[in-house]
Amino acid sequence: MSEPAAASPDPFTVFQSWLADASRVELNDPNAMTLATATPDGRPSARIVLLKHADHDGFVFYTNTQSRKGSELTANPRAMLLFHWKTLGRQVRVEGEVSAVAPEEADAYFRSRPRLSRLGAWASDQSRPLADRADLISRLQTLDETYPGEEIPRPPHWSGYRLRPDKIEFWQDMPFRLHDRTVYTADQGSWQVGKLYP
């Protein structure tokens, strides 16, 4: 049975390599990840969001800050991310503290989005009840007339979050369910690397 390669001392290097591998083989959204949050009393919720940036400062995603996830992150700024690349037989779990990105960073990403996505950020009261889908379409049409060009300001309730990890686990499928699990734990500015039983 082949053994996995020796663990790198830097989990971000491993993550970028795995994400690049996924980008070559996953048909849709290799940057898709499950974001798990919880209320202060422990009620969990999870949904798929898209990773928009990752480096040594953390993992960045964007959303309506008044959505359920935004409200939960305000009340309890700890979260977990889960990447699952079935084609590669790999998972990555990321745990840590979440904070808002700088307004300039959110502005720059918002400007890069397609025009209708920017209008949609204004039109949608994300996670709130919608009486009829026609109401959403009507709001979108009104905004299209309000902002006829490319200059669409970022809504004050739409921004980004950065999860700064204190634990990252890499899971690799192996024969006979003897999977390889490598875990990185933050320890005073460095990373401790270890293995977990499958």
Residues 162-183: tens digit of each pLDDT: 999 999 999 999 999 999 999 9
Q: Is 177 a catalytic residue?
A: yes
pLDDT per residue over 36-95, tens digit each? 999 999 999 999 999 999 999 999 999 999 999 999 999 999 999 999 999 999 999 999
Please tell me the pTM assigned to this model.
0.92
Give dist(CA 153, CA 113) in Å, integer. Answer: 12
Q: How far apart are CA 97 and CA 80, in angstroms?
A: 9
According to CATH, the topology of domain 11-113+157-196 is: Pnp Oxidase; Chain A (2.30.110)
- CA-CA distance, 12 to 164, in Å (whole number)? 11
Q: What percent of the chain has pLDDT over 90?
A: 92
CB 81 within 8 A of CB 35: yes
Identify the helix (H) or strand (E) that includes residue 63.
Answer: strand 58-64
- Spatial contact of 161 and 94, defined as CB atoms under 8 Å apart: no
Long-range contacts of 69-78 (CB under 8 A, 24+ apart): 69/35, 69/37, 69/45, 69/127, 72/37, 72/38, 72/39, 72/45, 73/37, 73/98, 73/161, 75/39, 75/40, 76/37, 76/38, 76/39, 76/40, 78/38
